[in-house]
Structure 1
Amino acid sequence: MTVLHLRGPALPGGEVLDLWTDGDRWTTDPVAGAELIEGWLLPGLVDAHTHPGAEQPGDPLDENVLRGDLEAHVDNGVTLIRSPGLAAEPPEWFGQDPALPRAVHAGPWIAQLGQFFDGWGRRADHDELPGIAAAQAARTGWAKIIADWQYGDPHVPEDVLRQIVERVHAVGGRVAVHSQRPGGGTAAVHAGVDSVEHGMGLDPGLLPEMAARGIAFTPTLSVLQDTMPRALAQPDSPSRRERIRSVGAHPALVAAAVEAGVTVLAGTDTRPMGGIAVEIRALLAAGVPAHDALAAGSWSARAYLGLAGLEPGAPADAVVYASDPRTDMAMLDHPRAVILRGVRVR
């Protein structure tokens, strides 16, 4: 294996570092003859909300599609993904293939009876949800709950979500919750879930509680904004008005979450894969400071998911740019090098 030598200002601190690969770990011990790569150094990018492996909602998991989706992530500097919901339990190579991103996942989605996409996930009554979630988290570390679905549908009650959290935490797992309506988001936060996904309509008054309890927020901002033209073209209805209102308020909510100290994670949610730079720039456009927007798709997300950044002994993932991407976010589309598990893959 070729030893790599990275040199340059390293984020988040900006200090100039010299790092060498030692297999899948960084070291500061010099290695003669190593391949030198210079530039601005970032811990490998993270997409914290992506659903690879299926072309359309309800489609079965396709291993060829899954591999292609993961290759698209790597091509764009993503070295770690979190999949809070997959069409099925993934193959054994998922997250282990040396040429593809590291991965954590929640297996198939878990929803109330009568909700979520046909063909995807597990639907169960309230008495069954905690046990199903705990069994999933025991296998993979995460469980993903659909707390609310269509306009007017009842959300999962707070007491049920609290039972889910207790059971999942008891096996050492974490709970991610899909919420796009105020009631579901409020119940999720009060129940003490580990992350709120999408979070449209979330009461800004809950942000201090989220920060205090370490509840992360993955706003999937860019994809929600992309749905606005379609919503505007629909006939008037309470559902349309709610969506327009909540999507319109989402950027300010995200900026307020960062200001309140909530851990905000960058996640793309939908196809095409590999669009993490678009999401990071959407956070910036929403008023999130450039440093924090980049953190949401790099070092902060890695820390939240249990991986260190550019330091001795940490997993050897990095993206190298010609200049500081915080001052020119267009740089995210043009990495000079992508290092994954100590190997230059781009």
Structure 2
Amino acid sequence: MSVLRVLGTAVATGEPVDLYADGDRWTADPVRDAEAVPVGWVLPGLVDAHTHPGYQEVGGPLDDKVLRDHLHQHVDSGVTLIRAPGLAGDPPDWFGTDPDVPRAVHAGPWIAQHGQFFDGWGRRASHAELPGLAAEQAARTGWAKLIADWKTDDEHLPAGVLRAVVERVHAVGGRVAVHSQQRSGGTAAVEAGVDSLEHGTWLDPDLLTRMAAQGTALTPTLSVLLGGVPVVTARPESEFRSWWLAGVAAHPATIAAAAEAGVTLLAGTDSLPHGRIAAEVRALAGAGVPAHQALGAASWTARAFLGLPGLEPGAPADAVVYAADPRTDLDQLDHPLAVILRGRRVR
């Protein structure tokens, strides 16, 4: 395999980039006869921080072939790292490690209290059992994902239970992601000190300063929520319809306020089809998040949050190269000049 050379300008810093792929790591040491990729604006690989690959229908099993197909769709879009906060089953050994699929961080199957979440998916436990179950999962994979609230008339997980989950998971070196689309569930999650809040519709804006201070990230999944507005609007009048539409309508302003407050934002697509990270970046920018920050949520900021450095010697050899600065034209994200994964050019 030939050694790749990446030349250009780092989008995150505006500084020159001149790196060589020494296997799966960047080096600044020149390599003779290295293959140069097109010169351009360079990101250290895109990140989809909320995606659930590997199933064909909600509640269905994890399918290895479908999983690989979905991961290839991510790679085609420039995504070199994913976080899967919930999977339809325990993934195969090649997940996140084979050369043709993105690096991956995952939380295994979702964890919920009894009577909530999709039938056929996840694990259910009593409030007393949840901290131990979450800690066991995080000890295996580094993350546990809990459902804090579900239907509008369901009881959310109490802050005390979530706090016990966080304490047990952190004790084994893991982190906690929490699904919330209700004000009460989001409040409980933030008060418990979870590591990331997923979706976060109806989030109390008064909590944003606390989230920034304690390091609770927000993954708004805005593009899929906005995409659902026409579908839900077409439904007959109901309490759920009114609640859901109002929550989504308020979401962009909350996201913009979170960015201003210094909350770590993570870009995540959440649903089919896979490979839509560009749409999420544009949705964040459309909500009022500065383009630089929106791109970081899908690249260098997300990588740092998930424990991976960017364009520097010794870092994983991932990169996406664009002809022009994507901050001034986010449509550039749809047309990468090159995608490099694990030191290999895959596009």
TM-score (norm 2): 0.99
Following superposition, the deviation at residue 11 of structure 1 comes to: 2.2
2:273 is the counterpart of 1:272: yes
2:127 maps to: 126
- CA deviation string 1:41-90 (max 9, x = no partner): 11100000000000111000000000000000000000000000000000
Cα distance in 2 for residues equivalent to 1:205 and 1:171: 31
Q: Secondary structure at the match of 2:87?
A: coil
Following superposition, the deviation at residue 235 of structure 1 comes to: 2.1
Cα distance in 2 for residues equivalent to 1:303 and 1:343: 22
Following superposition, the deviation at residue 240 of structure 1 comes to: 1.5
Letter in 1 for 2:46: L
2:236 maps to: 235
2:319 maps to: 318
Q: Secondary structure at the match of 1:331?
A: helix
1:3 maps to: 3
Following superposition, the deviation at residue 152 of structure 1 comes to: 1.0
Letter in 1 for 2:16: V
Letter in 2 for 1:216: A
1:341 maps to: 342
Letter in 2 for 1:331: Q
Following superposition, the deviation at residue 230 of structure 1 comes to: 1.8
The aligned runs of 1:153-164 (5 Å cut-off) are 153-164=154-165
The aligned runs of 1:170-185 (5 Å cut-off) are 170-185=171-186
1:43 maps to: 44
Preserved CA contact (<8 Å) 2:11 2:325: no
Quick one: percent identity of the two aligned structures?
69
The aligned runs of 1:81-96 (5 Å cut-off) are 81-96=82-97
- CA deviation string 1:205-231 (max 9, x = no partner): 000000000000000000011111122
Following superposition, the deviation at residue 290 of structure 1 comes to: 0.6
Following superposition, the deviation at residue 33 of structure 1 comes to: 0.7
Letter in 2 for 1:95: G
2:224 maps to: 223
Q: Secondary structure at the match of 2:191?
A: helix
Count of paired positions: 346
Q: Secondary structure at the match of 1:6?
A: strand
2:15 maps to: 15
1:256 maps to: 257
- CA deviation string 1:262-292 (max 9, x = no partner): 0000000000000000000100111111100
Cα distance in 1 for residues equivalent to 2:11 and 2:315: 14
Following superposition, the deviation at residue 124 of structure 1 comes to: 1.2
2:174 is the counterpart of 1:167: no
2:150 maps to: 149
Cα distance in 1 for residues equivalent to 2:242 and 2:100: 45
Q: Unmatched 5+ residue regions in structure 1?
A: none
- CA deviation string 1:121-156 (max 9, x = no partner): 001111111111000000000000000001110000
Cα distance in 1 for residues equivalent to 2:30 and 2:298: 29
Following superposition, the deviation at residue 99 of structure 1 comes to: 1.1
Cα distance in 1 for residues equivalent to 2:240 and 2:209: 28
- CA deviation string 1:250-272 (max 9, x = no partner): 11111110100000000000000
Cα distance in 2 for residues equivalent to 1:240 and 1:66: 32
- CA deviation string 1:275-316 (max 9, x = no partner): 000000100111111100100000000000000000111111
2:202 is the counterpart of 1:201: yes
Cα distance in 1 for residues equivalent to 2:16 and 2:136: 45
- What is the Cα-based RMSD across aligned positions, in Å? 0.7
1:116 maps to: 117
2:76 maps to: 75
Following superposition, the deviation at residue 238 of structure 1 comes to: 2.2
1:245 maps to: 246
Q: Unmatched 5+ residue regions in structure 2?
A: none
TM-score (norm 1): 0.99
Cα distance in 1 for residues equivalent to 2:278 and 2:225: 15
- CA deviation string 1:94-126 (max 9, x = no partner): 001011100010000000100000000001111
Cα distance in 2 for residues equivalent to 1:213 and 1:301: 17
Letter in 2 for 1:96: T
2:27 maps to: 27
2:192 maps to: 191
Letter in 1 for 2:150: W
Letter in 2 for 1:32: R
2:294 is the counterpart of 1:293: yes
Following superposition, the deviation at residue 2 of structure 1 comes to: 1.0
